[in-house]
Amino acid sequence: MKKQTLIATYCALSSHALFAAVDLRIDNATILNPIDKHQVEVISNHWLAIDNGKIIQISNIGAKPEASQVVDASGQYLIPGLTDSHVHLKTMPGLLASDPNAEKMQTAFLQRQGANYLYYGVTQVIDPSNTAAGMSKFAANGPAPDAYFCGAMPVYQGYNAQGLSYAKLHQHKPYFAAQHNDPVNELTPSQVQAHQDAQPLTRMKSDGATCAKLYFEDGFGENSQLPLIRQADAKRLVDSAASLHLPVMAHANAVDMQQLAVEANINIMAHGLWNWLTPNTNKVANALPPKVKAVLDSIVEQDIAYQATLNVMHSLAKVTDNTFEFSPEYHNVLPLSQIDWYKSEAGRWFSREMNQGWGTLSNQQKVARLEHVFHQGQQALRYLHKHGATLLLGSDTPPAPTYASQPGLSTYLELTMMHQAGVDLVSLLSAATINNANAFALEHRYGSVAEGKVANLLLLNSNPLESVSAYNNIDSIILTGSHIERSALHINALNHK
């Protein structure tokens, strides 16, 4: 009797295994599969089967697998979910810590942040300065994109560590890089040891980091007051990171700083080259100053992946502009109450800060100055694209406490601004998918529509190889195999007041 029951159970299990339905099948989509930075394969008349969060089959054979859910995607375009490889997930854009409602606003922000990214088709994000605990916190507010982090390696009193005591630096920047004249007496010998040589890299790797970030920043504009990492140390860290298979991102946006980053052999430039330090005296149309051209040529030669982060200067110009209005797009990701706060005296604090220290310039003139720097960034991007550089979609959201930069929306704006700067639509799709996967060694999971990869996909109502606006014409998002209608991720559907 017992034996019979066992056999019966076994048969039931095996027949289930043989004829099990897959979780999801997508029929009739035109599949756009990025191959490399210059090629996207177009696949018609295929269906795609997804099970346990992964793509398990892409085929045109007549015998389709049974599926628990079938999506007829006739007339739609299937692409990999986008990766935004430069986002800061910790704090609400423009939050004023002293506001009586700061905590409430921050909590509400964390609850909607993941959905905001998904609404604009971003299914993977990389935060260049975070920790494993930060990633868990982000994921806990699901639904959310798959999130990865880099270990930030500032130096004592350097950029991204200004004003932090040595003890606080150890606490808040767990992977900082030690330098010669650090006040080591503030830490225990083992704490000091934890920041020597390759120690922070080994530690971040075992903590699950996807990359390391170095800072080449001596101060913005003409300033040069911030201590830099010693160049010999930067080079050694890049070598150590390579042996740990950790790509190194570099914060740098001025020509002298990007030159240092290039010389240190970094893998990913985390910003566009928009600060040329001197006015362009080159009178030939669209020609670049020789120093700028030299750095950009090295970026191409060394195949350093490049995040133009056009969103940075764009959103700084917007927050400075006294005539800035929240366009309808902002109402997709922000509740009305939040927009009202941003418009209030308290909410405009960073706008006032951006408007200080310009002498007698009018508001219009200030904005024009920022836009000029933005155009230099566009010009640098156009040059790199023309010369075959590897481009990455990375929006740097938010780059500063500016309300003009919002999760997901800024990623979409970054795509449109890259396209405006001259990046063609094939290269743009690759920058948002396969290039990011390759640059961060995540190509076994993401970046293309292929069997075995994570089923993070988008169904678009129009063709992204015909118009950039297709990235804002999303029908649905497939997140680790779950099909989510875009409308379910709109702020109005999220139950936020």
Show contacts with Zn ion in window 396-435 (CB under 5 A): 396
Q: Which residues contact 72 (CB under 8 A, 6 or more apart)?
A: 27, 28
Q: Which residues contact 196 (CB under 8 A, 6 or more apart)?
A: 178
* CA dist., res. 330 & res. 319, Å (int): 14
Residue with smaller CB distance to Zn ion, 23 or 396:
396
What are the distances in angstroms from CA 172 to CA 16, 156, 230, 456?
51, 12, 21, 32
Q: How far is the CB of 276 from Zn ion (least distance, A)?
A: 20
Q: Is 84 in the site for Zn ion (CB under 5 A)?
A: no
Per-residue burial over 132-165, b = 16 or more CB atoms within 10 Å of its CB, e = otherwise:
eeebeebeebebbbbbbbbbbbbbbbbbbbeebe
Interacting stretch for Zn ion, rule CB under 5 A, among 373-381, 391-399, 408-416, 433-441?
391-399
Residue 146 and residue 124 in contact, taking contact as beta carbons nearer than 8 Å: yes
Interacting stretch for Zn ion, rule CB under 5 A, among 24-32, 64-72, 141-149, 393-401?
393-401
Residue with smaller CB distance to Zn ion, 79 or 413:
413
Q: How far is the CB of 190 from Zn ion (least distance, A)?
A: 31
Residue 424 and residue 402 in contact, taking contact as beta carbons nearer than 8 Å: no
Residue with smaller CB distance to Zn ion, 405 or 433:
405
Interacting stretch for Zn ion, rule CB under 5 A, among 30-38, 395-403, 430-438, 480-488?
395-403
Residue with smaller CB distance to Zn ion, 146 or 396:
396
Interacting stretch for Zn ion, rule CB under 5 A, among 43-51, 220-228, 360-368, 390-398?
390-398
Residue with smaller CB distance to Zn ion, 90 or 375:
90
Q: How far is the CB of 250 from Zn ion (least distance, A)?
A: 11
The residues with which 87 forms a beta bridge, in sequence order, are 397
* CA dist., res. 411 & res. 471, Å (int): 10
Q: How far is the CB of 139 from Zn ion (least distance, A)?
A: 20
Question: 3-state DSSP call for residue 441?
Answer: coil
Residue with smaller CB distance to Zn ion, 182 or 396:
396
Residue with smaller CB distance to Zn ion, 26 or 417:
417
Interacting stretch for Zn ion, rule CB under 5 A, among 36-44, 155-163, 388-396, 486-494?
388-396
Residue 1 and residue 390 in contact, taking contact as beta carbons nearer than 8 Å: no
Q: How far is the CB of 312 from Zn ion (least distance, A)?
A: 8
Q: Which residues bind Zn ion (CB under 5 A)?
A: 396
